[in-house]
Amino acid sequence: MEDIQHLIKECLANNRLGQEKLYKKFYPSLFLLCRKFYNNDVDAMEALNDGMLQVFTQLHKYDDTKGTLYNWAYTVVRNVVLDKLRLKKWPPLYEITEESKTVDAGVLKQLEWKDIYKLLDNLPPATRIVCSLFYLEDFSIKEISTNIKLSEGTVKWHLSEARNKMKPILEKHYQKK
């Protein structure tokens, strides 16, 4: 296995082969991260490539005393995805301010990734993003609101919408036996 410090040095030297090796090393999990937010592979791949470009251009800011390169790259790519989503026009939403019940994420944690992506594919884009951040990335409602510039009430509405759309599917296909 290639030493990560060696790959970092190659990438800092703008060595394309080193960048390719690092890209391939992180590709599987970072692609799945991007896929959480997009319902097709093309958009997810575009987001991943934009994120990895940011990783390569900002690699000089990485500090190994604060964590692993993978965790740093994951955060950079996730932030690029959120920035890209912020720039898109959100669908018109009704502002809902009353408290919504949160969904028990226990069922989601028990599913395989391929099943989670199939469920996410059934959600409208904005609801998918909120659901992914809340259940899969463990963001709080306040953090989601701040990151994607929606009110907390709207974030709660999206979580409620996700619950309403997924509940029949989960009951039908994933009932406890």
Q: Report pLDDT for 34.
A: 92
Residue 89 pLDDT: 58
The 10 Å Cβ neighbour count of residue 110 is 11
- Domain containing 121: what range? 106-173
- Indicate the residue among 87, 122, 148 that finishes a domain: 87
Is residue 101 situated within a structural domain?
A: no
Instruction: Identify whether 81 is part of a domain.
Output: yes
Residue 148 and residue 111 in one domain: yes
Do residue 80 and residue 121 come from a single domain? no
CA atoms of 75 and 66, how far apart (whole Å): 13
List the one residue out of 19, 170, 137, 148 whose CA is nearest residue 71.
137
**Is 110 domain-assigned?**
yes
Q: pLDDT by residue for the chain (177 residues), tens digit each?
A: 458 899 999 999 999 999 999 999 999 999 989 988 888 889 999 999 999 999 999 999 999 899 999 999 999 999 999 888 877 755 444 333 333 333 444 555 556 666 777 778 778 888 888 888 888 888 899 998 888 888 888 889 888 888 888 777 777 665 554
CB contact at 8 A, 124 and 64 = no
Query: DSSP per residue over 43-96, as a string?
Result: HHHHHHHHHHHHHHHHGGG--TTSS-HHHHHHHHHHHHHHHHHHHSPPPP----
Amino acid at 11: C
**What's the confidence (pLDDT) of residue 150?**
84
Q: Answer left, alpha or beta for residue 67, where phi above 0 means left and psi between -120 and 50 means alpha.
A: left
Q: Which pLDDT belongs to residue 126?
A: 84
The CB density around residue 163, as the number of other CB atoms within 10 Å, is 17
- Give the pLDDT confidence score for residue 124 in this predicted structure: 84
Q: How many domains does the chain have?
A: 2
For residue 66, what is the domain's CATH number? 1.10.1740.10
Please tell me whether residues 79 and 14 are part of one structural domain. yes
Indicate whether 96 belongs to any domain. Answer: no
Nearest to 30 by CA among 53, 57, 61: 53
20/77 same-domain check: yes
CATH (domain of 121): 1.10.10.10
User: Do 139 and 83 lie in a common domain?
Assistant: no
pLDDT value at position 102? 39
Instruction: Indicate the pTM of the whole model.
Output: 0.65
